[in-house]
Each structure stands twice: as structure tokens, then as C-alpha cells.
């Protein structure tokens, strides 16, 4: 326990009793310790205090109490021995006294208990991997040796004579008692006749006995041999011959050339030790870490380093002031210091712990080289959009799930790094929920999502040309209109059914209420947003859908290979809740997909390499981001899954729209009216406006449509709408009143009415004739 101030008169006042008294007084967490202390006695006193408080929080915040404030004695004692009786600055001890705060009892602490059973026993995926591994190993060994049987037979044949010679040699040595020969020779060398006689006699006895044994054994052996050769069934004889030949073959081998080769050369799992980790951290050029490494204190391991999936896991408490993000920033340096490929080294924060807790997972294999795990829903199972579905695996091969309901998703990456594959997993999951209505637009035109045609309510695949963009816009308008319809439908429901004013599984299940989930997916959405004609409207529609859709059961999933502000409106990207960023080239694209400051905070999809296909940083699906690899589902597999999804939908009666063979009514061009726009830009009470002023205001309203329009252009555009521009007295662009070509409100109102009636007549006539 450290104090900042002390009584300068407590020379001998450091007995244990007095120290205890002080602690007792401090039970109410407000012990007062006067300032101006004697350094000698202070040390002694500290020892007493420290011995009591050793296991508790070490740091003490001291607070000086001003003289005036000290008049209030509630929390502070005054120094009773001060010379002038005046209060001096006092210190409030703020450390809790042992036992005074319930949270400090061991049973109150949030200790992390390690699992009783190892992961492979409790985790089905790990167990399954172990069983598959063992099965594969047996199969491989059987195949390996079966293929080499002729080779082994040849080797045996070559080695049998040598084996026979060795057996005979060993037998002769045994019968002749060859092992005692050196002793006899030694006796001869020393001219020790007595010893030599003794040894020779013993050898002679031994030889006699061994010859007798040989004779006794030879009779049954020769008889057995005769039986085998002349009387035993052929297979038995052959088997015994093979056995004998193999034995002789093995005896004829050499140690450096074994008869049977190794089917598996065991790869050494590189170890991870605390020394390696500390040395690696020490090489990252962080002064706080360097000080800790030098002093040998400050970096601790709260758990033993252990195997976790196909790699090692180290939980590390970094020195005070260093955060897990500081280390994530230097992943490349860390990988270099650990002498491991970058794809093996994964430093992460622990979301359940403090900022200085680093979880370092070092895989045995580069993530990109690990075998792809099959999608658990590939052959069986159904999805509920209200529940998380299997989307990817993390570095350790564990399943990562995604809950898309009430959210939106943005996928961004450079071309050919797995956007469409990742999007396809999401869409296949949506397809396996027969209640979901799907709008799928693939604007690259390569047919990557064609399999989904069988289940999609609206579908179009085209290379970002007019038909593709018109179809996508039509779909977006349709879904946008749904927002209004659904909001009203939800409002009409009894209050007890819409407790949170959002779509629930119960509400979605009632098809007739029209509140089932809708998933809208646009692959290569940059084609739409950067289009001059549709871009503005697409942004408006997507923004509304992305903001209001989730509560109404509508989810937007966008994938783009150009995540920049021109191709992906910031309003749209900022509102996407779930983000997946596969490999990108720069910080801007990285932050555009993952959110502002992501790069600075160590989330760097720029560090993925060429081979990291399908690997990206997933954010917004859980408390902490994760590095994941989306499940790999190729075209033919996707076809099979969609067939199953279609069967589910047929059974549920939810095959609609495109999947049911309908063609939607797709109108070309943006759906807005020039007359309505003019009405919108005329201020209330403004009866007449100059054409130039109208053009300026229209440009402000929809720059992508009206940019560069002048009075003549406006007049031409208005002619077919039965509105003529005329000379009007009004304020010009310079603010001064003048007589120029313009529009009168009365004419505009008339033209709008006429056009509305014409439109209605057209559509009624259409219906009548259609
Ligand atoms: N999860 C994955 N695991 C392994 N390989 C993958 C994975 N996802 C994608 N790939 C590989 O990456 C290649 C490119 O994937 P994909 O077609 O999804 O890229 P993309 O980013 O959509 O490309 P583009 O921008 O040209 O459309 C695929 O052909 C596939 O071989």
C-alpha cells in the first residue's frame, strides 16, 4: 500500500497494533493519513501496511484535502499532532480494505475456468476431424503398402539367401560356443594353462549339450517339414513357405534399408513457447514492450500455451498501456519474428477481457492452404432467416455463423478474390428458408448466380447494361414501395403481436400479412451506383431500404469490386451492419468496406496475399470482428442445393415471380416526373418563375438528370407534356425582377392534371385491351 503523505511526528508510531488501528479506521474506505512524513519510519510503516495489503490492488490514488474543506470531518481526520493545531493537507486512502468490498472475494471474481474436457472430446467438429483423420490414415497406409507388395516380395526374394546364411552362421556359432572364444584366446595369450583347460572343458561340455539339443529338436522339425511338404494342404504349405521366406528375408535385411517403407513422413508441428512469444513481441519496436522484456516483468501468460484446433493459442497480458490492437498493427513483423508464414499468425483481442489481453493463435498451416471445410447445409438442412446460418470458417476451422435478419450486408474486394462466392453462400442460405422472397441481380453477366434463378422472385444477370440496370431498378422500386406497404401492414397488427414494432418469426409466418423476409442482393453494385441515369435514384432507394428495411424484414446485400465513394455511396456503405472485406489494395477501400478508422485499428484486408481467395475480415456479425474464409461452394454444388431449396419452396407454396415463370414489368429510365419535380422546386406562393431559375433548382434536385439544362432544353422537354414556357415577370438568377421566359404555376397545375388523367386513361385502356 503506497501513501503520498504522512504524519511527521509518528516516529515510533509504527507498531503492528497502531497499523491495525489505522486499517480499522479505514474500514469505511476513507482513512486519513496526514502529510509530511519521516522517510525512515515511513519505510517501516509501509512494510506493516504492505504485508497486510499485499494481495490487493497496489495503486493508491491520493487526494489532498484543502484546509477549508478539512473542516468537514466526515471523511477526513485532521492531523492531531500538527504544530499549530491548524489542519494540514491530508490524504484520503482510496484502496479498499480487504474484505470491505464484496467484489474482491475470490468467489466474486470472474475467473476464467479452463474446460474440464479437451476440445476434441466436447467439440463435434474437432472430434469429427480426428475420426476422419484416423480413417484416412488407415486407408492411406493400406493403399501405400498394397501398391508396394511386388516390391516387398522382390526384396524378400533377394534377401532370403543372405538370411539363410545368417541363420546358419548364428546356429554354428551357438553350437560351437563361439562367444567364449575370446576368453580362451586370452588365456592362451597370458599362457594361463589352468584357466585355458577350465574354459576348454566347459566349451566341450556346452558343445556336447547343444549338439544333443539340436538332435532332439531336429527330429520333430524334420518330421513337421516332411508333413508340410508331403501331406499339408497346399495353401497351408504355401503360407508356411511365405512365412519362412519372409522371416529369412527380414533376417537378410540391413538396418538402413528396411524391408517396408514408411507410408507417412510425420511433419513436425512447430512449437510455440512463451520465450518465442516474448522474443517476437520484443522485436516489434514498442518501447513499453521493450522495457517489459528488459526488466523481465510486464508480459504475463494468464493461461498455459495450448493446442487449439490445428495450431497453438497463447493468451497474453501485454504490458500496461499496450493494447491488442498495437500488436495486430504489426502482424507482419510478428510473423517474421516467429519465423512463420503470415497466413499462420493471427493476433486478436479477447472481447471478454481488457484491452491489453492478446490472444495469439499460430496455425500449423497457412489459412489459405488448409483444406476447405464443406458447407454444413450442402446436403441437408433448412434455414430460418431469423436464426444464424453457417457462413464461413475461422482460422481455426471453426464455424462462423451469420444472422442476416434485421441487418444488411456489404461485401467488398478486388476482382477475383471471392466476393461472389461469399455472396452465394448468403443467398443459398436464404434460398433454404422457403419463406424468404429473393431479389437477385448479378451485374457482371457471367452467370455466377444463375443457379438461384429457380428460387428467385426477381432475377437478372447481365453485364451492367440497360436491360440489367432497368431490371435492377424495377426491383429496387418494387422493394422500396414495399417499405410503405409493410409499415402500414405492421401498424395495422394488434399491439400484442408487434411488441417491438418489427417483423417477428410469428408475423413472417402468416404469408397473407405480407411481412415475410425479403432479401435483395446486387452483385457488382458499382455498375448501378456509378451509372449516370440510374445512380442517383439507386442511391436514394438503397438508402431508404438499408435504413428502414431491416425492421420490416427486408435485407439488402451488396457486393462490389470497387469500394470507392463514386461507386458505393457513403450513405449506403455507412449503414451496412455486416461487412466482409476480402483482399483490397488500399486503406481507402479497406475503410470504405469495414468502416472508418478500421485500417488504423488494425483491421487490414490489404495484408491478404494473392493466394488468400475467399479469406476476409468479417465485421458486425458478432461483438468482435473475425478473419474468416467463406464456405467454398462451386457451381454444380450450388445447383444441387438450389434444387433442394426449390423443393422446399414448392412444398411451402412460395414459388413466385421469376421462379414461377413471370416476367416483371420493367420500365426503362428513371421513374420520376419532370412536372412533379418542377412543382417540388417552386416555393409556396411563387406564382411564376424564370426558366433559368427552374433549371438551376432542378440541377440541385437531381444533378445526374438535370445538369446542364437551359431554358431552351426545358421548353423542349415540356412541350410533349403540354406545358408551354412564356414571358413572365419574376426575379432572375441575379435576384433582380425582369421579364423573361418562364413557367406560371397555373399552367403547371393544369399540365400535371392533364398528364395524370392521360396516364390513368392509358393504363385503364391497357388493362381493357390486355
Ligand atoms: N471460400 C473460398 N475458398 C477457396 N477459394 C475461393 C473461395 N471463394 C472464392 N474462391 C476462389 O476465388 C475465385 C474468385 O472468386 P469469385 O468469383 O467469387 O471472385 P469475385 O471477387 O466475385 O470476382 P469478380 O470481381 O471478377 O466477380 C473463385 O473462382 C474460387 O476459385
Who's near 644: CB < 8 A, 6+ residues apart? 432
CA distance linking residue 404 with residue 622, whole number of Å: 11
CA of 610 from ligand 1 middle (Å) equals 12
CA distance linking residue 623 with residue 630, whole number of Å: 19
Q: What does the H/E/C string look like for 41-100?
A: HHHHHHHHHHHHHCCCCCCCCCCECCCCHHHCCCCCCCCCCCCCCCCCCEEECCCCCCCC
CA of 634 from ligand 1 middle (Å) equals 10
Who's near 637: CB < 8 A, 6+ residues apart? 378
Q: What long-range pairs does 653-660 form, CB within 8 A, spacing at least 24? A: 654/434, 654/435, 654/437, 654/511, 654/516, 655/455, 656/437, 656/457, 657/437, 657/456, 657/457, 657/458, 658/453, 658/456, 658/457, 658/458, 658/459, 659/453, 659/454, 659/455, 659/456, 659/457, 659/459
**524, 443 Cβ separation under 8 angstroms:** yes
CA distance linking residue 63 with residue 80, whole number of Å: 19
CA of 352 from ligand 1 middle (Å) equals 34
pLDDT of residue 25 exceeding 70, the answer is no
Pick the atom of ligand 1 nearest to 631's CA: 1
- Please report the domains of the chain, with CATH numbers, ordered by start residue: 16-108 (no CATH), 149-251 (no CATH), 274-365 (3.30.980), 401-581+638-660 (3.40.50.300), 674-769 (no CATH)
The total number of residues shown for the chain amounts to 770
CA of 616 from ligand 1 middle (Å) equals 12
Longest dimension (CA), the chain: 151
CA of 441 from ligand 1 middle (Å) equals 18
pLDDT score for 269: 64
Who's near 248: CB < 8 A, 6+ residues apart? 156, 159, 160, 163, 164, 167
- Each residue's pLDDT tens digit, 243-298: 888 888 888 887 777 778 787 776 666 789 999 999 999 999 999 999 999 888 88
pLDDT of residue 28 exceeding 50, the answer is no
pLDDT score for 92: 62
CA of 414 from ligand 1 middle (Å) equals 10
Considering the chain, what is the average pLDDT of its residues? Answer: 81
Residue numbers belonging to the annotated binding site: 413-420
Pick the atom of ligand 1 nearest to 413's CA: 21
Alpha-carbon distance values, 357 to 109, 144, 242, 314, 347 (Å) = 17, 47, 64, 10, 10
Q: Give nearest CA residue, ligand 1 atom 30.
A: 418
- Each residue's pLDDT tens digit, 631-641: 999 999 999 99
Phi, psi of 230 (to 5 degrees): -100, -25
Which residues does ligand 1 sit against, CB inside 6 Å? Answer: 372, 413, 415-421, 444, 448, 561, 613-614, 629-630, 632
pLDDT score for 16: 39
Phi, psi of 57 (to 5 degrees): -55, 135
Least confident stretch, 1-5, 138-142, 379-383: 1-5
H or E stretch covering 322: none
Alpha-carbon distance values, 255 to 29, 251, 435 (Å) = 77, 10, 69
pLDDT score for 277: 93
Region class of 762: left (phi > 0), else alpha (psi between -120 and 50), else beta? alpha
What totals of helices (H) and strands (E) does the chain contain, helices first? 25, 19
**31, 22 Cβ separation under 8 angstroms:** yes
CA atoms within 13 Å, Cβ hemisphere of 696: 8
Pick the atom of ligand 1 nearest to 446's CA: 27
* 681 grid coordinates: 422546386
- Per-residue pLDDT, averaged over 565-577, amounts to 87
Q: Give nearest CA residue, ligand 1 atom 14.
A: 416
More confident residue, 48 or 758: 758
Torsion sign across C-alpha atoms 546, 551, 556, 557: positive
pLDDT score for 29: 38
Q: Give nearest CA residue, ligand 1 atom 20.
A: 416
DSSP letter at 302 equals S
Phi, psi of 360 (to 5 degrees): -105, 115
- Out of 390, 428, 450, 613, mutate this one to test ligand 1's pocket (max ligand atoms within 8 Å of CB): namely 613
pLDDT score for 464: 74
Cβ neighbours around 768 below 10 Å, total: 7
pLDDT of residue 41 exceeding 70, the answer is no
* 85 grid coordinates: 493545531
- Each residue's pLDDT tens digit, 364-375: 888 888 878 899
Alpha-carbon distance values, 149 to 42, 136, 245, 502, 745 (Å) = 85, 20, 15, 69, 99
- Each residue's pLDDT tens digit, 134-153: 899 999 999 999 999 899 88
Of 268, 266, 291, nearest in space to 278 by CA: 291
DSSP letter at 257 equals B
CA distance linking residue 518 with residue 385, whole number of Å: 10
Q: Give nearest CA residue, ligand 1 atom 2.
A: 614
pLDDT of residue 757 exceeding 60, the answer is no
Burial (Cβ within 10 Å: 0-12, 13-18, ≥19) of residue 402 = buried
pLDDT of residue 54 exceeding 60, the answer is no
Least confident stretch, 62-71, 179-188, 567-576: 62-71
Residue numbers belonging to the annotated binding site for ATP: 413-420
Of 379, 375, 376, nearest in space to 644 by CA: 379
- Each residue's pLDDT tens digit, 514-561: 899 999 999 999 999 988 888 888 998 999 999 999 989 999 999 999
444 has which bridge partners? none
CA of 638 from ligand 1 middle (Å) equals 14
* 45 grid coordinates: 510503516
* 328 grid coordinates: 495486430
* DSSP-derived 3-state class of residue 534: coil
* DSSP-derived 3-state class of residue 619: strand
Cβ neighbours around 184 below 10 Å, total: 17
More confident residue, 721 or 424: 424
H or E stretch covering 355: none
Alpha-carbon distance values, 642 to 430, 456, 732 (Å) = 10, 10, 62
- Each residue's pLDDT tens digit, 695-716: 888 888 777 677 778 888 888 7
Amino acid at each position: 500500500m503506497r501513501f503520498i503523505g504522512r504524519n511527521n511526528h509518528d516516529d515510533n508510531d509504527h507498531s503492528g497494533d497502531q497499523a491495525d488501528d489505522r486499517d480499522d479506521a479505514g474500514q469505511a474506505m476513507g482513512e486519513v493519513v496526514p502529510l509530511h512524513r519521516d522517510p525512515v519510519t515511513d519505510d517501516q510503516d509501509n512494510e506493516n501496511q504492505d504485508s497486510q495489503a499485499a494481495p490487493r490492488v497496489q495503486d493508491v490514488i491520493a487526494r489532498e484535502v484543502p484546509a477549508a474543506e478539512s473542516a468537514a470531518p466526515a471523511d477526513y481526520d485532521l492531523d492531531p499532532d500538527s504544530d499549530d493545531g491548524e489542519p494540514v493537507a491530508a490524504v484520503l486512502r482510496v484502496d479498499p480494505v480487504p474484505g470491505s468490498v464484496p467484489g474482491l472475494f475470490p468467489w466474486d471474481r470472474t475467473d476464467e475456468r479452463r474446460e474440464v474436457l479437451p476440445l476434441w472430446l466436447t467439440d463435434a467438429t474437432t472430434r469429427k476431424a480426428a475420426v476422419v483423420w484416423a480413417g484416412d490414415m488407415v486407408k492411406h497406409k493400406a493403399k501405400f503398402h498394397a501398391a508396394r507388395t511386388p516390391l516387398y516380395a522382390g526384396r524378400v526374394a533377394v534377401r532370403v539367401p543372405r538370411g539363410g546364411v545368417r541363420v546358419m552362421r548364428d546356429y554354428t556359432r551357438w553350437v560351437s560356443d563361439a562367444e567364449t572364444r575370446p576368453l580362451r584366446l586370452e588365456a592362451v595369450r597370458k599362457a594361463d594353462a589352468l584357466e585355458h583347460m577350465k574354459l576348454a572343458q566347459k566349451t566341450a561340455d556346452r558343445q556336447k549339450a547343444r549338439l544333443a539339443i539340436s538332435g532332439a529338436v531336429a527330429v520333430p522339425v524334420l518330421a513337421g517339414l516332411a508333413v508340410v511338404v508331403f501331406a499339408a494342404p497346399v495353401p497351408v504349405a504355401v503360407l508356411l513357405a511365405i512365412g519362412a521366406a519372409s522371416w529369412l528375408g527380414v533376417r537378410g535385411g540391413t538396418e538402413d534399408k528396411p524391408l517396408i517403407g514408411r507410408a507417412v513422413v510425420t511433419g513436425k508441428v512447430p512449437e510455440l513457447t512463451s520465450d518465442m512469444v516474448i522474443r517476437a513481441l520484443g522485436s516489434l519496436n514498442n518501447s513499453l514492450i521493450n522495457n517489459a522484456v528488459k526488466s523481465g516483468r510486464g508480459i504475463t501468460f494468464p493461461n498455459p500455451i495450448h493446442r487449439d484446433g490445428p495450431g497453438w493459442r497463447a493468451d497474453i497480458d501485454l504490458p500496461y498501456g499496450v493494447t491488442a490492437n498495437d500488436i495486430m498493427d504489426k502482424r507482419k513483423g510478428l510473423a517474421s519474428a516467429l519465423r512463420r508464414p503470415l497466413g499462420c499468425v493471427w493476433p486478436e483481442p479477447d472481447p471478454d477481457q481488457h484491452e491489453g489481453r492478446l490472444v495469439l493463435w499460430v496455425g500449423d498451416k497457412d489459412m489459405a492452404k488448409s483444406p476447405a471445410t464443406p458447407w454444413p447445409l450442402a446436403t441437408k438442412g433448412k434455414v430460418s432467416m431469423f436464426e444464424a446460418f453457417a457462413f464461413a470458417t475461422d482460422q481455426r476451422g471453426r464455424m462462423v455463423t451469420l444472422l442476416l435478419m434485421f441487418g444488411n450486408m456489404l461485401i467488398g474486394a478486388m476482382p477475383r478474390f471471392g466476393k461472389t462466392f461469399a455472396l452465394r453462400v448468403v443467398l443459398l442460405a436464404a434460398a433454404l428458408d422457403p419463406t424468404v422472397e429473393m431479389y437477385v441481380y448479378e451485374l457482371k453477366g457471367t452467370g455466377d448466380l444463375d443457379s438461384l434463378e429457380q428460387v428467385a422472385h426477381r432475377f437478372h444477370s447481365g453485364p451492367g447494361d440497360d436491360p440489367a440496370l432497368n431490371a435492377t431498378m424495377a426491383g429496387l422500386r418494387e422493394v422500396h414501395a414495399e417499405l410503405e406497404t409493410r409499415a402500414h401492414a405492421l401498424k395495422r397488427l394488434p399491439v400484442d403481436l408487434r411488441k417491438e414494432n418489427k417483423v417477428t418469426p410469428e408475423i413472417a409466418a402468416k404469408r397473407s400479412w405480407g411481412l415475410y423476409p425479403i432479401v435483395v442482393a446486387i452483385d457488382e453494385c458499382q455498375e448501378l451506383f456509378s451509372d449516370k441515369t440510374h445512380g442517383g435514384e439507386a442511391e436514394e432507394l438503397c438508402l431508404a431500404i438499408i435504413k428502414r428495411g431491416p425492421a420490416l424484414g427486408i435485407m439488402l446485400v451488396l457486393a462490389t469490386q470497387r469500394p470507392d465513394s463514386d461507386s458505393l455511396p457513403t450513405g449506403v456503405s455507412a449503414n451496412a451492419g455486416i461487412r466482409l472485406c476480402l483482399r483490397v489494395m488500399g486503406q481507402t477501400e479497406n475503410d470504405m468496406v469495414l468502416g472508418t478508422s478500421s485500417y488504423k485499428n488494425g483491421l487490414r484486408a490489404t495484408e491478404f496475399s494473392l493466394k488468400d481467395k475467399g479469406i476476409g475480415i468479417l465485421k458486425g456479425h458478432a461483438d468482435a470482428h473475425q478473419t474468416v474464409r467463406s464456405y467454398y461452394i462451386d457451381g454444380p454444388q450450388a445447383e444441387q442445393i438450389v434444387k433442394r431449396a426449390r423443393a422446399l419452396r414448392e412444398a411451402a407454396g412460395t414459388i413466385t415471380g421469376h421462379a414461377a415463370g413471370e416476367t416483371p414489368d420493367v420500365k426503362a429510365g428513371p421513374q420520376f416526373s419532370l412536372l412533379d419535380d418542377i412543382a417540388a422546386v417552386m416555393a409556396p406562393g411563387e406564382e411564376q418563375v424564370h426558366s433559368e431559375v427552374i433549371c438551376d433548382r432542378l440541377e440541385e434536385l437531381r444533378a445526374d438528370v438535370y445538369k446542364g439544362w437551359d431554358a431552351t432544353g426545358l421548353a423542349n422537354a415540356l412541350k410533349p407534356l403540354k406545358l408551354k414556357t412564356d414571358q413572365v415577370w419574376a426575379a432572375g438568377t441575379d435576384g433582380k425582377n425582369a421579364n423573361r421566359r418562364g413557367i406560371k404555376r397555373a399552367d403547371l397545375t393544369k399540365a400535371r392534371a392533364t398528364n395524370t388523367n392521360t396516364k390513368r386513361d392509358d393504363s385503364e385502356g391497357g388493362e381493357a385491351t390486355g
